[in-house]
Amino acid sequence: MTRISVGVDVSKNRSTVCIMDQDGKVIMRPFLVWHSTEELDFLADTLKRLNGEVRVIMESTSIYQYPIALHLKEKGIFISIVNAYKVKKFANTDFRGGKTDKKDSRTIASYGISYWDKLVEWQIPKDTYFNLDLLNRTYMNAKKHRQIILQELQHYIDCAMPGMDKELHSLNLSTKKDFMLDFVEKFWHRDEIVNMTEAEFTEVFTAWAKKKGYRPVEGKAAKIYAIAKSCIPYYPANPTVKTILQCIVDKLSGVNRTLVTIVTQMIEEAKKLPEYQIVREMPGVGDPLAARFFGSAGDIRRFKNSKALVAYAGIDSPPDESGDFSSTHRHITKKGSKVFRDTGYEIMMALRAQKRTWEKVRKNPDVYDYMLRKEAEGKPPKVAKIAALNKFLRIIYARIKELYDNMALAERAKTKTRSKTRAKTKVTA
């Protein structure tokens, strides 16, 4: 059967389509299709009338490819969404260069012909994975916004009570509390602290901490009072400065509530997955990080092996050799999902902060011990964490794969038992 590759160069509201056969001959010159029901129905009918095996290939361009991919998929047409970097590297073989939508659609169609046997059919994501991906994207956008406001707050602290930031920790998604925000709202200027004696401040601070649900740490009030006593503020303690602070606090409080809401919903969604507990039980992984792990990784089963999962995180090292030379000092590719890589690194940071006596580490010490061993070999802390993350992902992949294999075996055993029961019932009857 003739192979027909349909290259689609996706834009926001429209796409350019080029249809090419297996010999590289253009069957239909590039034409424009708007992302409307009528035009996509017309495109689907056109493709179904072609005499041959039709495959539609498009680049992954954030979210813009999904309307056309979803519509054509529902019409029963093979869809393959390809990494844009792969198409770019393929396009670089054309030494003449140039870039237009029509030319790009031809390139994508040509890519489909060249890599026909390696094209992976795109599947509509299941509801849980789709929801997690959507929530994770919203979380990352809110986190960026929060970082900007947090820099404003830290600037305020540097001007109103210099040096205090080292004693103030920010939002904890597990406890849903932000000590820095609560503290500066109550003690908004250095003068609010030093106008009291140390004993008075300790009493006020302890009562406030208990009311807010913070555990009073011995000596914390004394450290804060000492910093306030020795620092020289630039901002005066007047109503204008207090108003500015209140505006920052209101903005940051709103974003904090958004982040907590998103993470709470992510946890609820992630708990629906059978593999959630496997990740949750790993050292360094709490509920928020476990939910974000699946929000950035998606369905682990779509990767053909653990190496593919590691490559998706962008922490794999490419081979580097030529003749007798073989390099042993290589950098990670970083050609994967930055969000997934950052989430994994956060997990490693949380793991490294734990002690060997921690219950989770005692039960599952492999990754923790591997990280310490790499540090003992003289590896920089960051390199040791990346190496440990590599091991972490391989373990996770193997355990999730085993879980679903066992579930499949159990389901087949149930089906076989039901079939035997029905057969016996028929014989008896």
Residue 419 has pLDDT above 90, yes or no: no
pLDDT tens figures, 167-203: 888 888 878 889 999 999 999 999 999 999 999 999 9
Residue 206 has pLDDT above 60, yes or no: yes
pLDDT for the residue 12: 87
Percent of the chain having pLDDT more than 90?
67
pLDDT tens figures, 282-301: 998 999 999 999 999 999 99
pLDDT for the residue 71: 92
pLDDT for the residue 192: 93
Distance, in Å, from the CA atom of 338 to the CA atom of 15, rounded to the nearest integer, reads 27
| Other residues' Cβ atoms within 10 Å of the Cβ of residue 229 | 12
Tokens of 418: 């039901």
pLDDT-wise least confident of 161-165, 277-281, 414-418: 414-418
Distance, in Å, from the CA atom of 364 to the CA atom of 367, rounded to the nearest integer, reads 8
pTM over 0.95: no
pLDDT for the residue 359: 83
pLDDT for the residue 324: 58
The sign of the dihedral angle between the CA atoms of 237, 242, 248, 253 is positive
Distance, in Å, from the CA atom of 383 to the CA atom of 199, rounded to the nearest integer, reads 46
pLDDT tens figures, 109-131: 999 999 999 998 988 878 899 99
Strand runs labelled E in 247-382:
321-322, 325-326
pLDDT for the residue 326: 54
pLDDT tens figures, 147-174: 999 999 999 999 999 999 888 888 888 7
Percent of the chain having pLDDT more than 70?
95
Domains in the chain with CATH codes: 3-124 (3.30.420.10), 129-270 (1.10.287.4070), 276-318+331-412 (no CATH)
Distance, in Å, from the CA atom of 282 to the CA atom of 392, rounded to the nearest integer, reads 9
Confidence of residue 426 (pLDDT cuts 50, 70, 90): low
Distance, in Å, from the CA atom of 158 to the CA atom of 209, rounded to the nearest integer, reads 22
Which of 354-358, 398-402, 407-411 has maximum average pLDDT? 398-402
